[in-house]
Amino acid sequence: MKKKNSIQKYISGSIALVLLLLGMYSCNEDVLDETPLDFISTTNAFNSPDDVEMGVVGLYSLGRDWYSAINEKYMFVFTALGTDLAYFGEDPAGGYMSNWDTDITPTSDLPERFWTKAFDLVYQSNTVIAGIENLEWNNEEKKNMYLAEARFFRAFNYRILVTLYGDVPLVVEPIATPKTNFVRAPKADIYKLMEEDFAFAADKLPVNGQEATAGRLTQGAAWHMLSETYLAQNKYQLAVDAATHVINDYGYDLMRERFGSQPNLFGSENVYFDLFTKENHNLGSNKEAIWVIQNDPDVTGGGFYAGERGYGCAYYRMGNTPDGYKAFLGDINNGSYTGYSDTLGRPVGWSRPTNYTAYSIWKSDWDNDYRNAEACIKRHFYFNNPNSAYDGMEIDWSLYESRSSAFKDTTQYIYPYFMKAAAPNDHYTDLSRAGGGVNHKDVYAIRLAETYLLRAEAYLGLKQPGKAADDINEVRKRSNAKPISAGDVTIDYILDERARELYTEEWRMLTLMRLGKLVERVSAYNNNPGNPGLSIQDYQNLWPIPQTEIDLNTGAVLEQNPGYE
């Protein structure tokens, strides 16, 4: 199988210059403060198309950090923590996103982190856009392709900002002088810019298969994001049309047969498992991948994915067998037992799936849905110590007369482990610790299955549940799940299907906020045993504007969101 060249191979040769050129911020610097952007001048930093290429690659590097090259808890908030899908398993009572009342406030860490990170990429995108526009070009098509990439990243980050915070400052030019009079633009203005940027990208980006390297954007990715942008504004027919372009016009298809590398680790591997096997994401035969974040370990600047650390259970911490021996000896490295399984890695248990995610949504198709196979969701764990009479037996807490850490048994040590986040037996770093919680597998930013579910949502908005059911059934049929009828389709059912198909991939926080369903579903489904419902309040379907930004914006008023005053 031919594998496309990775964008990381280009990043490796230019990352030092990109860092200098783009002057990346540290994550704790304020974006809307009085520091002028004197790290770059659009009149002299972009003197040739090669300079533009490096500037655009820098945007990819920054954009990748939303997905990978990370090992911090806060990055799992997007995909799981604080939503209906997961709670902080390592410390449910007081861990990350275990209490909305204390974790999401004007002065807490998360709102400032995400605001700063997203606006940073907006500003960097504006700088690259201006540099492209100021350069004389002999090749208009190449100019427009670079503009399309930069505008995609600007819209992509405004998508984060407008969904999390509502009305936000609209910034479309580089900031070359101190500015302390930002005002919040109406959401309608933000969405208008996003529509224009994504539409430009949908027209000027290369088509699928013509991109320069794996990981570079194509028209399909822009149409997908445009469909979601229309959905956010209840423009249902436009959302259908945009998603249909992706589904029909670029050669994408759901993968229905096994493909690529096909390891046999659990005995129940299937086509859904193959989608997440390392090396399969960028294969030319993988017709489902629309935009893949690259994490190549073999080059300088290659990325890391902390999916194992975040989503897996900390099985190795459970202590002893019922007869007093260490429960897990693990694999052997350099002649000694590591205490870890190379198949499972070294998870920490940050994102423990809720019972809704781990059990409830699978009940109707428990035995036949490929996505619930043991290879995809590992539910059975076994003692691993030949000295114990329990060696090879399945771990069952009822075997113990008592447990000193009973609270942690099913929140941190043993719970259903979604293996799509893992790279079984495929670690490159920290081999004595089975990878140390990270791996180097690529990550889907956009996959065709989600496009079908976006179109289903749009059809439901158009009161065409039959067509919505048809799209949902395309996704379900691939995984051998029973088809549904038009009468089954509700927005909650679509959210259930998104959870089955996209857990660990979907930015669930944004989906629920976009639909106005966050508070309702967190209250109903987040069964954190230390704080069921996470103390979420009705006004928290939006996050607060960071107080630091309000305080620094001395020339105008940045109004706070209701409930946080």
Q: Any idea which of 157-171, 421-435, 487-501, 524-538 has the lowest mean pLDDT? A: 421-435
Rounded Cα distance between 473 and 280, Å, is 24
Residue 438: pLDDT band with limits 50, 70, 90: confident
Burial readout 502-530 (b: 16 or more C-beta within 10 A, e: otherwise) = bbbbbbbbbbbbbbebbbbbbbebbbbeb
Rounded Cα distance between 208 and 252, Å, is 8
The token duo for 465 is 């549940």
pLDDT tens digits for 36-68? Answer: 333 345 555 788 999 999 999 999 988 988 888
Closest CA to 360 of 527, 164, 185, 539: 527
C-alpha pair distances (Å), 215 with each of 64, 442, 469, 530: 10, 10, 31, 40
pLDDT tens digits for 206-265? Answer: 999 999 999 999 999 999 999 999 999 999 999 999 999 999 999 999 999 999 999 999
Contacts of 527 (CB under 8 A, 6+ apart): 87, 354, 355, 356
- The answer to whether residues 276 and 305 touch, using CB atoms and an 8 Å cutoff, is no
Backbone angles phi, psi at 420, to 5 degrees: -65, -20
The token duo for 159 is 């998508």
- Cα-only R_g, the chain: 24
**Polymer length in residues for the chain:** 565
Among residues of the chain, what percentage have pLDDT more than 90?
79
Residue 182: predicted pLDDT: 95
pLDDT tens digits for 268-319? Answer: 999 999 999 988 999 999 999 999 999 876 654 567 888 999 999 999 999 9
Residue 142 has pLDDT above 50, yes or no: yes
- The answer to whether residues 403 and 397 touch, using CB atoms and an 8 Å cutoff, is yes
Residue 2: pLDDT band with limits 50, 70, 90: very low
The burial of 335, by beta-carbon neighbours within 10 Å (0-12 exposed, 13-18 middle, 19 or more buried), is given as: exposed
pLDDT tens digits for 359-400? Answer: 999 999 999 999 999 999 999 999 999 999 999 999 999 999
Residue 509 has pLDDT above 80, yes or no: yes
Residue 3: predicted pLDDT: 46
Residue 515 has pLDDT above 70, yes or no: yes
Residue 21: predicted pLDDT: 47
pLDDT tens digits for 543-560? Answer: 999 999 999 999 999 999
Contacts of 375 (CB under 8 A, 6+ apart): 265, 266, 267, 268, 269, 270, 273, 419
Q: Any idea which of 18-27, 89-98, 289-298, 362-371 has the lowest mean pLDDT? A: 18-27
Stretch 141-159: mean pLDDT: 98
Among residues of the chain, what percentage have pLDDT more than 70?
90
Chain center to CA of 127: 25
What is the residue-averaged pLDDT of the chain? 90
Residue 74: pLDDT band with limits 50, 70, 90: confident
Class of domain 7-86+101-241+545-552: mainly alpha
C-alpha pair distances (Å), 506 with each of 106, 146, 565: 26, 27, 31
Domain definitions of the chain by residue range: 7-86+101-241+545-552, 307-439, 445-525
Q: Any idea which of 183-187, 313-317, 361-365, 404-408 has the lowest mean pLDDT? A: 404-408
Stretch 23-33: mean pLDDT: 38
Residue bearing the bigger pLDDT, 302 or 464 = 464
Residue 172 has pLDDT above 60, yes or no: yes
Residue 119: predicted pLDDT: 96
> What is the reported pTM?
0.92
Q: Is 270 helix (H, G, I), strand (E, B) or coil?
A: coil
Residue 12: predicted pLDDT: 35
